Structure 1
């Protein structure tokens, strides 16, 4: 084997080892594997979600619904992990580049998923709403999903009145409380 070939082979192996090491470190440092779970604690790997977690933890939904039960599609594993991947990518870009505001707003796609899950979980209440739709809702074609969003009236469910990085009481140190 010629000297140039050895240099190329060693350089390639070294580059591969460095790339693999950086990838493993990134997986470890970002707690990447925790995002594959359904544990709400995975959502507070980023400090920006502390207030959302702290307010949910004190809500009536804590014992019946976790983050993914409301924020991701239910029933279709492919759709769930696709939404999880897209949201994860968008969150990591926004958090890394610091392009988010202290009071995080849900996007249109996320809002439609949350609305669909509200309607799904509260089916018995939805039947009552359909009966009284002329008084409270603008129901199009018998579907509440196309009308007003549930949180337009139920603003404080399940995340409380104040949802901001700097204003939610007791949101700082939430990770330390869970140890």
Structure 2
């Protein structure tokens, strides 16, 4: 009988420790911040400081957050699916140090950014599409997916150089007023 009570208390204790560890991990990783649209969530991992610092000083800082450009805007389900996939990929790359000095966007992420550029700048892009035969060669077979906005607009919004050493003094968040 005593052995059975001991197992119950041990199991209850292990469960409480597991819950405590889970709550600690949620807090330490700032996990709930990833459910927000706050750009500071993107720098919870120090690796993204360059992207945050360059965006912070760009023309997009006053009008668009990371989420506005990098996640689908059509519905919440697609947004959170993309956020979960990106979060998993980022956490794996950052945890196991498998990323390069110059972080490159995935093909899926690039398509989302392209779609959002076109969506936000609809008045401009509709004119470009109407005049594409004169100014933009979208049918160029050497560019399988067509031209990307940032092929011409290289400095928007993260600057021209994307390496981790681009902003060596951006070790912390500086508030912009």
TM-score, length-scaled by structure 1: 0.89
Between the aligned partners of 1:162 and 1:139, the Cα distance in structure 2 is 25
Gaps of 5+ in 2: 140-144
Gaps of 5+ in 1: 141-145
Q: Which residue of 2 aligns with 1:27?
A: 26
Q: Which residue of 1 aligns with 2:166?
A: 167
Q: Which residue of 1 aligns with 2:175?
A: 178
> Are 2:137 and 1:155 equivalent residues in the alignment?
no
- Maintained 8 Å contact 1:48/1:102: no
Between the aligned partners of 1:149 and 1:168, the Cα distance in structure 2 is 25
Aligned-partner SS, 1:102: coil
RMSD, aligned α-carbons? 1.7
Between the aligned partners of 1:88 and 1:62, the Cα distance in structure 2 is 22
What does the per-residue CA deviation read over 1:98-134, in whole Å, with 9 as the maximum and x for residues that have no partner? Answer: 1112211100110110000001011111122112212
Q: Which residue of 2 aligns with 1:97?
A: 96
CA shift, 1:3, in A, is: 2.2
TM-score, length-scaled by structure 2: 0.90
Segments ≥4 residues shifted beyond 3 Å? none
Q: Which residue of 2 aligns with 1:111?
A: 110
Between the aligned partners of 1:45 and 1:178, the Cα distance in structure 2 is 15
How many residues were matched structurally? Answer: 171
How does 1:1-179 map onto structure 2 within 5 Å? Answer: 2-139=1-138, 147-168=146-167, 170-173=169-172, 175=173, 177-178=174-175
